[in-house]
Amino acid sequence: MSEFDVIVVGAGPAGSSAAIKLASEKMNVLLVDRADPPGSKNISGGVLWGNDLEKIVPNWNKMAPVERYITSKGVGFLTKDSSIDVNIKSRKFLQGVTGYSVLRVKFDQFLAKRAESAGAMLVSGVTVENLAFKDGKVIGVVQEGDTITADTVILAEGANPRVAIDSGARRPIADQDVAIGIKEVVKLPEATINERFGLTSKEGFAGEYALGFLEDGVEAGGFLYTNRESISLGVVINMGHLRADDKTYSFDIMDQFTDHPSIASLIENGKLSEYSAHLVVEGGYNSFPKQYGNGYMIVGDAAGLSFSNGLMIQGMNYAIASGILAAETAIEAKKSSDFSEKSLSRYKEKLMESFVAKDAYNFKGIEEVTWGKLAHKIMPSLMEDVLVNMFLTDGTPKKHLTELIRKAMKENNVKSSDLLMEGYKMIRRM
């Protein structure tokens, strides 16, 4: 007989959500995390859309350490001299109020404690070494040479799933699976943030940016989220491009982003309180690894589950949803006493029926857009030339928009056929 019904490895949003669901159904659950306390190894900042969290923690937003609810969303294209931004601030974002900026160090601790309160055994500061196997089935985990047994193991290790890879439960990470993310947290007074972003004390802004000013062929995106008394900002850099370029370093790109005039003015006089880097899941549907097997399931970033279409970056809500679905599968397996690969394949079916896999499938191939020349090079330069010439008053006759576009395309050496082809690809994928 196993010591636990389920062992969950990793107490991030995916793992803790799985543990909460399992414990609420009276399952005997061990939740183990290498950080002490859970969350202390996660870099801070992000936006959480909590629709699925509401299912297992009702009124979570009234209890959790949230920062601001997102009422303003922006997308920006940065060139060396300009920032071309599309921003929307709408009262419609207040319907349901599910999107909040959070600091992961605080939020992950909250969620892990909720799992413990629900009945899960929480063990922090412990590193799981490997999965334990018997007759080709996972029967638990190995920690410092000792085997702790369970009917099912849920791996929620994040974007660098070392236990899953080392144990052969999933294939190694390839360049197309991930990007490298660098993040800073800059402290500023609440009143200063409100003034600079046009917000009230509870309202928040979330923005993504294409860094069109980078040289040497490296492509990267930027992000910025407002917290109550700080700003989380950073860059996500294409791993393949960075590896192929032997002259550019990720921290240089981060410095170029924070030094850009449109960004520097937003964090001016701020105090840097955190600086970290980690892998970011970027591969999409085509990079999904196998997410289940005999006695185990893989959830969250470890399973390749995130979303980015160039306009939005999301991960925590996909992690939470996948953790809940894996927990439901484990509960069903316990009732039938069947923890085989065939039984746990129901987890994949649940994923495919949910928004988690449907989003990934519907936007399959989106990486061709998010890491494409049109978004990172062509659009920023064209928009800058057209808009500057449209609004600049220099005493010369005004030109029609079509003439401005033709002139900008010529100066940027962009052919109409290439623009149409890249534009069609973007529209089709997005």
| Choice among 68-72, 277-281, 284-288 with the minimum mean pLDDT | 284-288
Contacts of 430 (CB under 8 A, 6+ apart): 309, 310, 311, 363, 366, 369
Q: Give the DSSP letter of residue 175.
A: G
pLDDT in tens, 236-250: 988 877 777 777 788
Q: What is the mean pLDDT of residues 30-42?
A: 89
Nearest to 347 by CA among 174, 168, 153, 128: 153
Report d(CA 48, CA 214) in Å as an integer: 29
pLDDT in tens, 348-392: 999 999 998 888 888 776 666 666 666 667 778 777 878 888 887
Structure tokens at 28: 């005997």
| Choice among 3-7, 69-73, 307-311, 331-335 with the minimum mean pLDDT | 307-311
Q: Is the pLDDT reported for residue 408 higher than 80?
A: no
Q: Are 12 and 300 in contact (CB under 8 A)?
A: yes
pLDDT in tens, 78-135: 988 999 998 988 888 777 667 899 999 999 999 999 999 999 999 999 999 999 999 9
Q: Is the pLDDT reported for residue 422 higher than 70?
A: no
Instruction: State if pTM tops 0.75.
Output: yes
- Domains and their CATH numbers in the chain: 4-67+100-172+287-365 (3.50.50.60), 177-281 (3.30.9.90), 372-429 (no CATH)
Q: What is the mean pLDDT of the chain?
A: 88
